[in-house]
Structure 1
């Protein structure tokens, strides 16, 4: 199965959370903050959304930072993905 986003939607796969702090302290499961960094795995075609032309500015393989509470979490083939609108993506990591 494959997720194919519509309009200005983007499918993200969350990057792994850090398990140790910069000073070397190992974090237990509950203390790990959900990362807001992800890799783009699928991009919608863009098009006209609410009467405005939307051009997609991210591509598959980009590493991005997205809004903390954005999107819808989806599980497919035992993998977890997040489907967000393009405007919920804050930056591309280069």
Structure 2
């Protein structure tokens, strides 16, 4: 990808939604909600504080994050749908989620 976000913005790839409910019922695409969990693809250098010093971001590429349902702007870069949002729109980093999901599969 040849895109570098500016300031305190992050680029996020939404994780795919579950296609089955917990009871095993297949959910059609038209009814599925967009997932609020994603993977950070790229981050900007940070935001300037009042003193003019760059404050680095707390997330890095590869982090799994949780964000609001209506957060960010959807864009298409290199044919892939991504979200661009400010770091302050993120709710938090999901720790150890990849290991838990891999064991469950």
Say yes or no: TM over 0.5.
Answer: yes
Structure 1: which 4+ aligned runs deviate by more than 2 Å?
Answer: 51-55
Which runs of no fewer than 5 residues in structure 2 stay unpaired?
A: 96-105
2:30 is paired with a residue of what secondary structure?
helix
Which runs of no fewer than 5 residues in structure 1 stay unpaired?
A: none
- Structure with the larger RCO, 1 or 2 (CA within 8 Å, 6+ apart): 1
The 1-side partners of 2:23 and 2:92 are apart by: 27
Cα RMSD over matched residues?
Answer: 1.5
Q: Which has the larger radius of gyration?
A: 2
> Please, what TM-score do these two structures have when normalized by structure 1?
0.91
> Please, what TM-score do these two structures have when normalized by structure 2?
0.82
The 2-side partners of 1:39 and 1:78 are apart by: 17
Structure with more helix by fraction: 2
Partner of 2:30: 30
Q: How does 1:1-94 map to 2 (within 5 A)?
A: 1-48=1-48, 51=50, 54-94=55-95
